[in-house]
Structure 1
């Protein structure tokens, strides 16, 4: 009986061992190596010493209007209050061109630059800016500066050692270390064109516009933002990749503005279920084609999945948007796409996004309104439960709209009892010349004015 019981236990043990988990163990003979010893000090000083003078401190002064009367934010008093701010920048040419964030210099009346180991204070002028990517170019009158060396940001890998250089909280030159935590971060809602490099290197207010470099001392990005509930560093820093910087900086230096190309498609991501219809491939799925757009002229259709442009793989809708946005208008691009599970290729001549926006712009009593960008629409729905609106792109000085306090980037969400979801809604609501109640969304709040 005992023999039978023992045999049963052995059999059961074998059955459970067969169906159980087999743990994978490391080789116990794996060597442990120390990266340093008491005989030498591990340091990146030789790399950072050269880069220090490529990163500058930026201080700005701007005049802001004082608070409104009776708590009305639309009432502007005639006097202004000077306000100072600080940030960082990176020298990209020997003759004084510097790249920084648009939000560092936006609206500044005066821009001053200082360089490490140089006691001189330089007056800088704004060459051009691109709010949609948060990039700006300024210039100082100087020669033989230490221009930074760029690295191809498409080659950046998660885990690469990086350093963030800048002027946090205005304390002066500061260098912090970390790694690349992620690449291709988008959909955050900070700017319209997002393709961020994420890092855990300490980035704080004032680091904006500073350099993110690799361990060879080459620029991989411009520090732009942090994600933080407290406002301080919590290990999620975001940098604009160097390839986006070179593309936009070239346009800003040449013409003072950056003009993006335009394909004319509405796009979305492909989920796991949808990818089965496209041979398990991912990319930018066309969900809408605009009339007379480059896409419609090239024969693209709703349901086509764009998988590459000029040989560069498209992995998501935001990736497609960023690739097209990096091209200049009139460029002919090679688009590879999937239709009915067959790969096809078409050449498309891109148009100008600025021309498209200009044609959609509508002027009313001193304001230019344009369609609300899709990223803003998404943020409004998610955070304010607002379905849409139109964006105030410009306000003419001394116009009726200016006099009642409407400003650039206000979002018109309703006129009288009519919800505004498009330019056509706006046109219909202003057809009469009578004064109307206009509801504006600004910085998380809705206000009403009469215009």
Structure 2
């Protein structure tokens, strides 16, 4: 009987294999050249030429002070007389110059560029395409978190660019990058959209980049990324390179994000972003079963007196929706909250203990970089806590290692080499802040949590040198 079962199983496997087939594309029987007629070439000149008229060169000057000469001692006439020639050789303040690009977005002189192009500049000068005349520009407003700034020159009837809807972009779409690389003058390069919605690059606080292989080099920052119609799809921002030159991995801020930010900067001179007050991370494979295989952003910390705290959100809650919009990862939540206004009422859905809940929250105002949604690295570590030694954070330890008062927990004082704790990802100097639903303030809390969850998978919140991480272990 055993053999019959085995044979029938093998036959079933063979039958299933015979039903499988590879799908082939039809054979190529015709090739068409873009040169349909003699004397005709395939060109995007019309689209590129029109868009190029709206891409300007930006030069900046910044005075860099010599910290040595700022010392009052150096301004003492006796000191200057005593040291004579030596004093005259001390470097004084210097002027730092930089080049970048910008895009005219209205006929009355508004220009959008990257914040890092004009950041800290004492003087901003704009040169229009095909002209050597320089125009002094004034700063209208800047958004350092999104790396967007708007400047303005006093000139009317300027050529300007029209915006494409960046939500319509697809991988493989043809694009052109226009800018002023290395200060050589206006340059156009061609490529495709390599990827969309890229985040976690560590370039900006709010990231939703278009990735392209169109050549982007130093000086291209703030320039235009356009489609084959000549419409703006993005503002060129950064590259990944080992040499400093283009290696086919460039990033641009999508036109929809640029449009929203630029409009707000022109209207109010600043960006006011919604503030939820949570630290978040992507859901990991270890945590997925805890949340019924749902997607979302895992809450790993909550700021004191924040909107999240007042709403009753807790560490380990998985936020899955905001105002009916599904959240797939931490970056999506961060960008969405950042796009909303302070005092705006939102409805979120979250999962706690495998049950779905709903909360209504009034967003606060994100006033500085210390109050922001934080996306932390993924950590899929597994392992036991054997080999780990911890001690309570004392005032002396806090002072010695400059640990902020709002971080509580126990400090990892040693991790045995080749131990399960080391395999799990613990490091000396880590601070264990929470284990599942238990906040850790001392070694007694730590022992209590280990006893409660002994032999069970548990989520451990850890502050380390590289930020916050979650370690899941038994």
Both proteins in one fold, TM over 0.5: yes
Report what 1:330 is aligned to: 343
Report what 2:60 is aligned to: 60
Structure 1 position 100, deviation (Å): 0.8
Structure 1 position 371, deviation (Å): 7.6
When residues 36 and 281 of structure 1 are mapped into structure 2, their CA distance, relative to the original with a 3 A threshold, is farther
Report what 1:167 is aligned to: 180
User: SS at 1:266's partner residue?
Assistant: strand
When residues 416 and 310 of structure 1 are mapped into structure 2, their CA distance, relative to the original with a 3 A threshold, is closer
CA distance in 2, matches of 1:280, 1:373: 23
When residues 118 and 265 of structure 1 are mapped into structure 2, their CA distance, relative to the original with a 3 A threshold, is same
Asked which structure has the greater CA Rg, the reply is 2
Matched, 1:418 2:431: no
Pick one of 146, 152, 160 that aligns with 1:147. 160
**Pairs within 5 Å for 1:44-443:** 44-66=44-66, 79-341=92-354, 343-354=356-367, 357=368, 374=374, 418-422=400-404
Asked if the contact 2:191/2:212 (under 8 Å) is kept, the reply is: yes
Deviates more, 1:174-183 or 1:297-306: 297-306
Report what 1:447 is aligned to: none
User: SS at 1:306's partner residue?
Assistant: strand
User: SS at 1:179's partner residue?
Assistant: strand
CA distance in 2, matches of 1:56, 1:29: 45
Question: For this pair of structures, how many residues does the alignment match?
Answer: 359
CA distance in 2, matches of 1:59, 1:259: 28
CA distance in 2, matches of 1:157, 1:343: 34
User: SS at 1:203's partner residue?
Assistant: coil
* TM-superposition CA deviations, 1:85-138 (whole Å, max 9, x none): 110001122211111111111121211111113443211011222222221111
CA distance in 1, matches of 2:16, 2:48: 55
Asked if the contact 1:223/1:238 (under 8 Å) is kept, the reply is: yes
RMSD of aligned residue pairs (Cα, Å): 3.3
Asked if the contact 2:273/2:365 (under 8 Å) is kept, the reply is: yes
Deviates more, 1:113-122 or 1:208-217: 113-122
Q: Any stretches of 5+ residues in structure 1 without a counterpart?
A: 1-13, 70-76, 359-369, 379-413, 426-451
Structure 1 position 290, deviation (Å): 2.9
When residues 16 and 344 of structure 1 are mapped into structure 2, their CA distance, relative to the original with a 3 A threshold, is closer
User: SS at 2:341's partner residue?
Assistant: coil
CA distance in 2, matches of 1:333, 1:424: 27
When residues 372 and 269 of structure 1 are mapped into structure 2, their CA distance, relative to the original with a 3 A threshold, is closer
* TM-superposition CA deviations, 1:17-70 (whole Å, max 9, x none): 95899654332256544344344321111211221111111011122235869x
CA distance in 2, matches of 1:87, 1:334: 41
Asked if the contact 2:277/2:373 (under 8 Å) is kept, the reply is: no
User: SS at 1:48's partner residue?
Assistant: helix
When residues 53 and 312 of structure 1 are mapped into structure 2, their CA distance, relative to the original with a 3 A threshold, is farther
When residues 29 and 106 of structure 1 are mapped into structure 2, their CA distance, relative to the original with a 3 A threshold, is closer
When residues 253 and 421 of structure 1 are mapped into structure 2, their CA distance, relative to the original with a 3 A threshold, is farther
CA distance in 1, matches of 2:195, 2:59: 30
Report what 1:28 is aligned to: 27
Asked if the contact 1:61/1:109 (under 8 Å) is kept, the reply is: yes
Structure 1 position 236, deviation (Å): 0.3
Structure 1 position 168, deviation (Å): 0.4
Structure 1 position 208, deviation (Å): 0.3
CA distance in 2, matches of 1:97, 1:126: 10
When residues 334 and 15 of structure 1 are mapped into structure 2, their CA distance, relative to the original with a 3 A threshold, is closer
CA distance in 2, matches of 1:422, 1:293: 18
User: SS at 1:418's partner residue?
Assistant: helix
* TM-superposition CA deviations, 1:312-370 (whole Å, max 9, x none): 3322111211111112211222323344555544432111011xx49xxxxxxxxxxx5
Asked if the contact 1:337/1:345 (under 8 Å) is kept, the reply is: yes
Q: Any stretches of 5+ residues in structure 2 without a counterpart?
A: 1-12, 70-89, 378-395, 408-474
When residues 337 and 373 of structure 1 are mapped into structure 2, their CA distance, relative to the original with a 3 A threshold, is closer
User: SS at 1:321's partner residue?
Assistant: helix
Deviates more, 1:227-236 or 1:171-180: 171-180
User: SS at 2:226's partner residue?
Assistant: strand
User: SS at 1:191's partner residue?
Assistant: coil
CA distance in 1, matches of 2:342, 2:45: 43
What is the TM-score when the length of structure 1 is the normalising length? 0.71
